[in-house]
């Protein structure tokens, strides 16, 4: 495998750390940094979020287990894969199993890691881990966290391209999870 070329981009030294505003799910601050080329000072926003997990859940009948929930950033309901915040000290795979069952009531027969991405490294510090949960079977009605209102929906796995291309699935990290799944499947061939 070819390695990435060595970067000539230098780090930006932090001159001052800004005041932290804690909004429970995210901490936001503005730091003052120096441009390594010019030494000019610039403000840069940083959002500290917990790591997240997404789970592509597939039933024994080759159906995708999806969730629909209201998202306040766009004031609309979205169609997504189950997922959520990784608790402090929790292993991402353990979080994937927990979130799948909490949100949907389904339990996986097998769990495969697909990879992880930085949701938006321009100002976020966290990672999003994606997993493929196979041979999923419903074991309960699920038990979403307080503040979650989730509807579970099943779709034939073959409908995935249409769901994305027609704009039914618009959450970028969900699309990334499916892309990682496809890359892994192609690499196995």
Give the pLDDT of residue 143: 87
Closest CA to 105 of 137, 71, 132: 137
Residue 4 falls within a domain, yes or no?
Answer: no
Q: Which two tokens stand for residue 57?
A: 């859940």
Active site residue 6: no
Residues 6+ apart with CB under 8 A from 84: 52, 53, 95, 99, 102, 103, 145
CB 108 within 8 A of CB 57: yes
Asked if 100 and 36 sit in the same domain, the reply is no
Residues 6+ apart with CB under 8 A from 1: none
Q: Which two tokens stand for residue 23?
A: 């909004």
Specify the residue for token string 């909490």.
102
Asked if 70 and 89 sit in the same domain, the reply is yes
How big is the CA angle at 50 (ends 167 and 146), to the nearest 5 degrees? 75
Domain limits at 68? 50-188
Domain count, the chain: 2
Question: What is the pLDDT tens value at each position of the chain, 189 positions in all?
Answer: 667 777 788 999 999 999 999 998 899 999 999 999 999 999 999 999 999 999 999 999 999 999 999 999 999 999 999 999 999 999 999 999 999 999 999 999 999 999 999 999 999 999 999 999 999 999 998 888 788 889 999 999 999 999 999 999 999 999 999 999 999 999 988
Phi, psi (deg, nearest 5) at residue 35: -65, 120
Asked if 64 and 135 sit in the same domain, the reply is yes
CATH number at residue 158: 3.90.79.10
Asked if 61 and 32 sit in the same domain, the reply is no
Instruction: Name the catalytic one among 48, 63, 90, 148.
Output: 148
């Amino acid at each position: 495998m070819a390695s990435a070329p060595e970067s000539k981009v230098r780090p930006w030294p932090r001159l001052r750390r800004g005041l932290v505003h804690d909004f429970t799910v995210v901490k936001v601050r503005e730091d003052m940094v120096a441009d390594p080329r010019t030494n000019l000072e610039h403000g840069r926003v940083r959002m500290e979020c917990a790591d997240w997990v997404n789970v592509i859940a597939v039933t024994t009948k080759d159906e995708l287990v999806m969730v629909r929930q209201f998202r306040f950033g766009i004031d609309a309901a979205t169609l997504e894969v189950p997922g959520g915040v990784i608790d402090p000290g929790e292993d991402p795979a353990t979080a994937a199993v927990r979130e799948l069952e909490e949100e949907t009531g389904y339990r996986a027969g097998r769990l495969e890691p697909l990879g992880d991405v930085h949701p938006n490294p321009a100002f976020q510090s966290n990672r999003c881990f994606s997993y493929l949960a196979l041979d999923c079977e419903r074991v309960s009605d699920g038990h979403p966290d307080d503040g979650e209102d989730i509807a579970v929906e099943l779709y034939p796995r073959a409908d995935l391209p249409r769901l994305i291309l027609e704009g039914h699935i618009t959450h970028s990290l969900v699309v990334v999870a499916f892309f990682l799944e496809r890359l892994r499947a192609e690499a196995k061939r």
